[in-house]
Amino acid sequence: MTSENAVLKAIHERRSIRKFQDDQVRADQIETILDAGRWAPSGLNNQPWRFMVLYTGDNRQNILADCTKYGRIVENAKALVIVFLDKQNIYDYTKDCQGIGACVQNMLLTAHSLGLGGVWLGEILNRDSEVMQGLNLDQEKYQLMAVVALGYPAEKGHSDRRQLKELILEDYT
């Protein structure tokens, strides 16, 4: 059924891409990716996510690169989508974090569907105060949730998954 269903096919084929070609990501592609993100589910439809986009050549890209041990990925990305929680729009913190996770997944699947590669960077959250300062954003208003590095893949991603039976706590059939 996977090959017949476009959604399942995208889920099974999408992989994290950490190296990118020199071709630039277009603004219309970014808009499509952000639009997919905004259609993620959220508690009470509060849509607590906010986005910032940086392209190659933006000096803030270097600031972010210095805030993570994966700086080479950040430096090599042709676009970065930085996702924040709007603290003034919180419905329920846990549900809002889950919604932002769904938002990021929508964006990654959309990037894949456009022929782009991307990777969700989480380790950078360890230095969120430095990121927020470098981006000149108010930490009282926004919380850093994710950085998504994007570009045309310069490598083929790979990943294995555990067998489904290893993940099931009790028989559901």
pLDDT at 21: 98
DSSP category for residue 91? S
pLDDT band at 39 (very low <50, low <70, confident <90, very high): very high
CB 36 within 8 A of CB 107: yes
pLDDT at 1: 55
Give which of 66, 49, 64 is closest to 132, Cα–Cα.
64
What DSSP letter does each residue of 22-86 carry, written as one string? Answer: SPPPPHHHHHHHHHHHHTS--GGG---EEEEEEETT-HHHHHHHTTSTTHHHHHH-SEEEEEEEE
Mean pLDDT of all residues in 88-106: 97
Average pLDDT of the chain? 96
The domain of 94 spans 21-148
Mean pLDDT of all residues in 79-100: 97
Residue 79 lies in a domain: yes
Residue 157 pLDDT exceeds 90: no
> 113-135 pLDDT, tens per residue?
999 999 999 999 999 999 999 99
User: Please, which residues have CB within 8 angstroms of residue 47's CB and are 6 or more apart in sequence?
Assistant: 38, 89, 99
Residue 3 pLDDT exceeds 80: no
Q: What are residue 51's DSSP bridge partners? A: 83
Residue 28 lies in a domain: yes
Structurally, how many domains does the chain consist of? Answer: 1
pLDDT band at 143 (very low <50, low <70, confident <90, very high): very high
> What is the gyration radius of the CA atoms in the chain, in angstroms?
17
CB 121 within 8 A of CB 148: yes
Residue 158 pLDDT exceeds 90: no
Mean pLDDT of all residues in 91-108: 98
* Burial tier of 3 (Cβ tally within 10 Å: 0-12, 13-18, 19+): exposed
Residue 6 lies in a domain: no
Residue 23 pLDDT exceeds 90: yes
Residue 112 lies in a domain: yes
* pTM for this predicted structure: 0.94
pLDDT at 2: 62
Residue 173 lies in a domain: no
Residue 2 lies in a domain: no
* Percent of the chain topping pLDDT 90: 94
pLDDT at 59: 96
Residue 153 lies in a domain: no
CATH of the domain at 123: 3.40.109.10
Residue 14 lies in a domain: no
